[in-house]
């Protein structure tokens, strides 16, 4: 089984959300369709712009907590190192 830490954005340099899941396609689909009540639905955060894969849940949980504590500028830099155009990566996961 794989575990994922992911960052969603409302748009380039927009509102960010960091989460962790064991089913990235399902979880991002839930965010995109507004099936998850809360922050992402209220703020229109639907674009998958970054993710990391882990073999065990513990390091994924720790990484999620670490990323959430980072300053916004560091999060943006992390996204732009891997995805400089802030492309929505969700379609690539499904296709």
Instruction: Copy the structure tokens of residue 56.
Output: 């065990």
- Based on C-alpha coordinates, what's the Rg of the chain? 12
CB-CB neighbours of 11 under 10 Å = 12
Which of 91, 88, 64 has its CA nearest to residue 11?
Answer: 88
- Residue-wise pLDDT for 28-68, tens only, equals 999 999 998 899 999 999 999 999 999 999 999 999 999 99
Q: In this prediction, what percent of the chain has a pLDDT beyond 90?
A: 93
CB-CB neighbours of 44 under 10 Å = 13
The CATH H-level superfamily of 3-94 is GIY-YIG endonuclease (3.40.1440.10)
Q: Give 56's Cβ-side CA count (13 Å radius).
A: 3
Q: What pLDDT does 95 receive?
A: 66
* Confidence (pTM): 0.96
Average pLDDT rounded to a whole number, residues 12-33? 96
Tell me which H or E stretch contains 54: strand 47-54
Average pLDDT rounded to a whole number, residues 20-32? 96
């Amino acid at each position: 089984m794989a575990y994922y830490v992911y960052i969603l954005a409302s748009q380039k340099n927009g509102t960010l959300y960091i989460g962790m899941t064991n089913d990235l396609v399902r979880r991002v689909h839930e965010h995109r369709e507004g099936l998850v009540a809360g922050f992402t639905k209220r703020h229109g955060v639907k674009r998958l712009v970054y993710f990391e894969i882990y073999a065990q849940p513990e390091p994924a949980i720790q990484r999620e907590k670490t990323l959430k504590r980072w300053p916004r500028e560091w999060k943006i830099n992390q996204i732009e190192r891997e995805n400089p155009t802030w492309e929505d990566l969700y379609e690539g996961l499904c296709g």
